[in-house]
Every structure is written in structure tokens, then in C-alpha cells.
Structure 1
Amino acid sequence: MLNFAIVGCGHVAKKHVQAINNSEGARLYALCDANANQLQQFGSTYDIKHLFTSFEKLLDQQEIDIISICTPSGTHRKLAIQAANAKKHIVLEKPMALTLTDADAILKACDENDVKLTVVHPNRFRPAVVALKQAIQENKFGTISYVNATLRWNRNQAYYDQASWRGTKEQDGGVLMNQAIHNLDLLLWLIGDVEQVQAYMDTRIRNIEAEDVATAILRFKDGMLGVIEATSTIYPKNLEESISIFGETGSAEIGGPTANWIKHWVFDHETEAETEKIMGKVENDPFGIPGHQMIIQDMIKAVEQDRAPIVTGEDGRNALALVLAIYHAAEQNSPYELQWKGEEKEDGND
């Protein structure tokens, strides 16, 4: 049995509580939040006895094996490094950090202390996304020419007004960093590294510091083109989240208000019966096991088997790097060349 602690008792922490409680081999042992009232309320709701307003005192608890960090994004570097130095494995909410300098510092601390790190990109585990990944691995698309990621969601002003850090560049970020980063992670996981970005972004409607709408054109390393469209200003509620892939021998789109359903699925060498089987399986269970639960269960296995988690810290860094590249391209109003970690130079640290 591995003991988990959660730091940051806000909205997303509820998903971690459910994921831990529903995962075999996991026990939610402790909670931590600097807001004593919020901590007590959260602890009472979920019947957790070990409550800490001090993160340092939480880290002193030898019983704790894994810490879920659910605090504002700008705090991730400090907390993750402290957790790593205390020899605690880490489940880190997205984005893993707001700069590549901070992301690299987290990766370095985890490596030096030999602790596991996973970043919460749960959409990879959706049944429709898994089917799409398998189709790519089986080369059903042939040569892929074009991909598209669309996020047309609503995060109203009340959402941003919940806390002073929301929508700020220093602690939070905008629609790309907070909502669309999952779609960017999927594009990188499904297609591969991006070579060049051109982009526009703006803050059109919400009273926030960061962007509420963004568009970008991507060129992937092996020549594919892609388009990203993301906004948090759709009235009055979430309209669409989709991933589309188009190739010489197939095309597919997964979508809906969240990308959980197969909207289009046609392949040259796939029989009608095979297509109906794939689409029917997704239709019957479009959500599958919740993504946060899959992240927690995989972390448990990673610790027990001493292997890397499915979603690694490097994966979290890559998604962040793409967001920052889009920011740079929009700010300089010209194409931006990406250099991935391990190459001659790295960009996007600011």
C-alpha cells in the first residue's frame, strides 16, 4: 500500500482524491494547504485526519510515499523540488511549470533524488484517443498530411475571479497553458515533435492578463502541417474539443464537447465490420476509466516495478515547450523555430 498526500485543496484536488480512493494499492494519507479553513473543510469532507498547513512538516512524514501537487502552476517548481529532495515520488498537475528553466530544475531534482515524476495529461487514456493512437501505430493513415486540434470552450469571468492568481502570467497562464495544453500534449504524443510555429493570440473578452484566444500553424519535423485553435470565450458553454488527422489512406476525427467520441473514421484497408467494432466500443464507453485514476494507477505500478511512468516529466516539458513556442511566435509576429531538449540549443525559457 502506497500512501499519498495532496498539496493544494482546490477544485482539481477533488479529482486526485477520487482517483486515489478508487485505485488499488493507494491510500490517501494526508492533505496540505496554507489556507487552514479550506484545509479543514476539505479534510472533513473526505475524512482525512492528517492535515498540514506547512508543506515542510508534511514532507517530514516518513509514511508518505507519493505527493500530488495541485497548487497554482507558478508554485510547482519550489514544491516539486522540495518533494524530490525529501525522496517523495511526484504526481504533478499540468502545466508542470510556466518556464522551461523551472521545468528543467524539477527534472534535475527528480533525477538526482531517484524519484518518479508524472505530469497529469490524462486525455491520453480516453478510449477514442487510444484508438486513434493505435491507428497511427498500425500505419492506417499512410502518409499524414495534416492534423488539427480545436478547443472551443467557456471559462467565464467568474471562473477567473475565483482566485487572484487565475489568468495571471506569473502564476497561471491563459487558455493555451491551462486548457489547450492537453491537446498539445496529444498532438506531440500522436504525431511527434514540432519544428516551426507561427501564431496569433489575444485577450479579447475576459478580464485577465493572459490570452483567452489563440491560433497557431505548426510544421512537424517530418513535414506534416497542423493547426491549433483554442479559446475560453465560447458563449454560453463548452462547444467543442476535437483532434483530427488526415492521411493518404485514412482520416479520423474525435470530438464532441470533450474529445471522447469518434465523429469520423474512414480507412482504405479497414473493413466495415472492423470500423463498426472500433466505433461501437468507444460509443459504449466513451469515457473509460477516469484519466486521473489512470495516472495514479500507473504511478503505483511505476513505483512497484521501478519503471518510468507512462506520462513522464519530459512529456510535460515538451507540452510546455510547445505552448511557450506559440507565445514567442505570437509575440514576435514571425515564425519560431523549436529546439527540443538534447539538441544543440534550447529556446523558450522565458
Structure 2
Amino acid sequence: MLKVAIVGCGKIADAHASQIQSVKGCEIVGVCDKEPLMARQLYERFPVKRYFGDLTELLSVARPDVVHITTPPDSHFDIARFCLEQGCHVYVEKPVTLYAEEAQILLALANEKGLKLTVGHDDQFSHVARRMRTLVQSGYLGGAPVHMESYYCYELGYGYARALLGDKQHWVRRLPGRLLHNIISHGIARIAEFLTTDAPQVIAYGFVSPFLKKIGERDIVDELRVIICEE
């Protein structure tokens, strides 16, 4: 039985818990949040063995094989590094870290320890993504792509976005790229695997929509157009 733990018990943790419990041979041995009430509510709604308010206690008591990190992105690096150092495989929500250098450190550590480290780019495993990958690799489309477009959108009028706009202390506002920092990795991931160089030219233009300007939100860019070019 594969023992899985979840660190961070907010909204996205529900999706992780639901998927984990549907996988044969997996069990959720513990959930953890620095706010114990958040850990408890997840524990009470899903088949979880125990809940914790401390990461060190979770790892020492529950002894998971895999840790899913579903905390705000600014905590990903420290939590992932600690879990890897303790010998756990890690699945971390996107964006993996705030900075490329941090991601490289985690990757090197995982390789050194012989552990698996993966990021929650779930779109890459969709039927559409897998079919496109097959068509490109088989040569059916005539070879390597010469032009690709990727779109990713949020509806700012509902749920998560409404909470963001109404909360000046929301964790998304602490990200260097704010709203777009939290989602742009999805759009880029769709294209990145087809690039042939690690240093393409990137041209980006950001915009604040009339809607946000109207409600006085000028520090959140809600539209970003990016061109990624290879020679």
C-alpha cells in the first residue's frame, strides 16, 4: 500500500484527496496544515487516518511514501526540500517554486536522493495533450511544430477570483507575478516540451482590463500575451 500525505488543506486539497482515494493501492495516512482546523475539516470529509498541525510530526508519525504539497506557492520550496530530505517522493502543485533557481535545487536534491519529484501540470495528461504529443512524435503533422498557440483563462466574476479581489492580503497578491504567476505555468507547459532549446527568446505584454480598472484594481495584471521564439 502506497502511503500518501497532503500538506496544505485548502480548496485544491479536496481534488487531491478525491483522486488519491480513487487510486487502488493508495491510502491517505495524514493531512497537515499550519491551521489545525483546516487539517481537521479535510480529515473529517475524506478517509484520512490522522491530521496534523506540524509538518515534522506528520512525517515522523505518519511516515508517508509520497507527499502532495498543496500550500500557497511561496511555501513550496521549503516544504518540498524538507520532504525530500526526509526521503519522501514529492508531488507539488504549480507553480513548483517562485524562482527557477529554487526549482533547480529541488531537482538536484531529488536526483541525489533517488526520489521522484513532479509538478501538478495535470493538463499534460489530458486526452488532448496526449493525442497532440503522439501526432507530433509520429511525424503525422510533418515534423516539429513551427507555430503553436496556448490559451489559459480565469473567470474573474466567481469563486476563487472573487475572493482574491475582495482580499488585499490574499496569498496570490504575495506572488511576484500575482494572479498570472499562479496560472501561467499551465499555458507554458503545453508548449515547453516542444521547444528544442533551454533559452528561447521571450516577449511578453501585460494588460489590466477595464473591469479591474473600474473597481480600482491596478496592481493585478489579468491579461498577458507571451511570444516564445526559437532561432
Aligned position for 1:302: none
Q: CA contact under 8 A between 2:28 and 2:49: conserved in structure 1?
A: no
Q: SS in structure 2 opposite 1:128?
A: helix
Aligned position for 1:212: 222
Aligned position for 2:147: 146
Answer yes or no: is 1:165 the counterpart of 2:165. Answer: no
Could you state the TM-score of these two structures normalised by the residue count of structure 2? 0.86
Deviation for aligned residue 1:41: 1.3
Q: SS in structure 2 opposite 1:12?
A: helix
Q: CA contact under 8 A between 2:69 and 2:92: conserved in structure 1?
A: yes
Distance across 1 between alignment mates of 2:124 and 2:71: 22
> What is the CA deviation profile of residues 163-189 of structure 1, one whole-angstrom value per residue up to 9, with x for unaligned ones?
62123325x7322x3223112111012
Aligned position for 2:69: 69
AA aligned to 1:169 is L
Q: Which runs of 5+ in 1 are unaligned?
A: 224-350
Deviation for aligned residue 1:35: 0.9
Q: SS in structure 2 opposite 1:18?
A: helix
Structure 1 residue aligned with 2:203, among 189, 198, 222? 198
Distance across 2 between alignment mates of 1:88 and 1:129: 29
Aligned position for 1:122: 122
Q: How many residues were matched structurally? A: 219
- Could you tell me the percent identity over the aligned residues? 23
Q: CA contact under 8 A between 1:168 and 1:208: conserved in structure 2?
A: no
Higher relative contact order (CA 8 A, sep 6+): 1
Q: CA contact under 8 A between 1:32 and 1:53: conserved in structure 2?
A: yes
Structure 1 residue aligned with 2:189, among 185, 189, 205? 185
AA aligned to 1:2 is L
Higher relative helix content: 2
Q: CA contact under 8 A between 1:174 and 1:212: conserved in structure 2?
A: yes
Deviation for aligned residue 1:54: 0.6
Q: CA contact under 8 A between 1:168 and 1:174: conserved in structure 2?
A: no
Aligned position for 1:17: 17
Please identify runs of 4+ aligned residues in structure 1 that moved more than 6 A. none
> What is the CA deviation profile of residues 296-333 of structure 1, one whole-angstrom value per residue up to 9, with x for unaligned ones?
xxxxxxxxxxxxxxxxxxxxxxxxxxxxxxxxxxxxxx
Distance across 2 between alignment mates of 1:155 and 1:180: 15
Q: Give RMSD over aligned pairs.
A: 2.1
Aligned position for 1:26: 26
Deviation for aligned residue 1:210: 4.6
Deviation for aligned residue 1:25: 1.7
Q: CA contact under 8 A between 2:28 and 2:47: conserved in structure 1?
A: no
Distance across 2 between alignment mates of 1:209 and 1:57: 39
AA aligned to 2:42 is F
Aligned position for 1:155: 156
Q: SS in structure 2 opposite 1:155?
A: coil
Q: From the superposition, tell whether residues 191 and 72 of structure 1 become closer, same or farther in structure 2 (CA, over 3 Å).
A: same
> What is the CA deviation profile of residues 265-304 of structure 1, one whole-angstrom value per residue up to 9, with x for unaligned ones?
xxxxxxxxxxxxxxxxxxxxxxxxxxxxxxxxxxxxxxxx
> What is the CA deviation profile of residues 21-77 of structure 1, one whole-angstrom value per residue up to 9, with x for unaligned ones?
011221111000011222211111114231110111112136311100000001011
Distance across 2 between alignment mates of 1:30 and 1:208: 41
Q: From the superposition, tell whether residues 61 and 78 of structure 1 become closer, same or farther in structure 2 (CA, over 3 Å).
A: same
Q: CA contact under 8 A between 1:7 and 1:68: conserved in structure 2?
A: yes
Q: CA contact under 8 A between 2:110 and 2:116: conserved in structure 1?
A: yes
Deviation for aligned residue 1:152: 3.6
Distance across 2 between alignment mates of 1:27 and 1:102: 30
Q: SS in structure 2 opposite 1:58?
A: helix
Deviation for aligned residue 1:7: 0.3
Deviation for aligned residue 1:110: 2.0
Could you state the TM-score of these two structures normalised by the residue count of structure 1? 0.58
Q: From the superposition, tell whether residues 123 and 208 of structure 1 become closer, same or farther in structure 2 (CA, over 3 Å).
A: farther
Distance across 2 between alignment mates of 1:49 and 1:32: 12
Structure 2 residue aligned with 1:174, among 175, 179, 186? 179
Aligned position for 1:264: none
